[in-house]
Amino acid sequence: MTAQQILILSNYLSQSFRNNVSILEVKNFKVKWCKENSIISEIMRSQLNDYLKAPILDIGAGLGDIAFNVFPNKVATLLDINEVTVKDYPLSINHTRITSDFFDYKPNQKFNTLLISHSLQFIDEDIYMLNSKIEKFDAKYILLVINDNFGFMKELLNWVNEKVDSSNPEIDIEGFPHNYSLEKKINFSATLACPTYELLAEQISYLMVVDYKTVKSELVSFLKERLKEPSFPINQSIKVFIRNGNK
């Protein structure tokens, strides 16, 4: 292999590592260590039903548990770059799973709502491309679930920015979504709790999309120094956006 080919391959690998998580990682985080999806689902069911207008496109749907538990009776498409099956999580008869990169997805139907729950970090590499893709859907509502990055998450972000060359944490993007206005913001907090600091460090590596092996020892020391136990709250919010001119 030539030096040029090695460079291209290494760029490709670091790019694909930074921009992807496996369904097993998603499952471990959501089912074992941070029960945020039950909180998100409860808020959506009780306070946001009016903004979940079918047909719904769930972008980076993961297991599809939010869709299954919040809007099983509404027509929805659950899109994910990874293949997800009923062996991973049940699917409502009103829902369809599609395996595709968001940017390659060209639907032949219109959606009234786009749901982006903890998946913005995987599609925000190029904000111009993201806004143009989102605008093409012309959906009335966008529901965005995102970390607010204050408290201990802020400390972690600073640590990762200082210590790690390649990371992809979830951060709010100014100017997104273009042509939409914020209608509502509901704050909540979910606890990430692991039995050991090593497991906590592994979950943080998943959250920030960093290579666990390379940060493990330093991150574990940092966590032991800063936390009394391997647990901390993740402050988050659900933001509802309405397309301009549609109020």
Ligand X SMILES: C[S@@+](CC[C@H](N)C(=O)[O-])C[C@H]1O[C@@H](n2cnc3c(N)ncnc32)[C@H](O)[C@@H]1O
Residues that bind ligand X in the complex, under the rule CB under 6 A: 20-21, 26, 30, 37, 60-62, 66, 79-82, 101-102, 117-119, 122-123
Looking at beta carbons only, is 79 or 223 nearer to ligand X?
79
Written as six digits, the tokens of 95 are: 């829902």
Helix axes 212-226, 197-208, angle to 10 degrees: 120
* Min separation Cβ 170 and ligand X, Å: 8
Q: Are 192 and 34 in contact (CB under 8 A)?
A: yes
* Min separation Cβ 66 and ligand X, Å: 6
* Min separation Cβ 29 and ligand X, Å: 7
* Min separation Cβ 31 and ligand X, Å: 10
Looking at beta carbons only, is 26 or 201 nearer to ligand X?
26
Q: Are 37 and 218 in contact (CB under 8 A)?
A: no
Looking at beta carbons only, is 44 or 219 nearer to ligand X?
44
* Min separation Cβ 44 and ligand X, Å: 11
Looking at beta carbons only, is 89 or 181 nearer to ligand X?
89
* Min separation Cβ 5 and ligand X, Å: 25
Looking at beta carbons only, is 35 or 184 nearer to ligand X?
35
Looking at beta carbons only, is 81 or 223 nearer to ligand X?
81
Q: Rounded to whole angstroms, how far apart are CA atoms 82 and 69?
A: 20
Looking at beta carbons only, is 37 or 112 nearer to ligand X?
37
* Min separation Cβ 23 and ligand X, Å: 6
Measured between alpha carbons, how far is residue 141 from residues 79, 134, 162, 163, 206 in Å?
Answer: 17, 11, 36, 38, 29
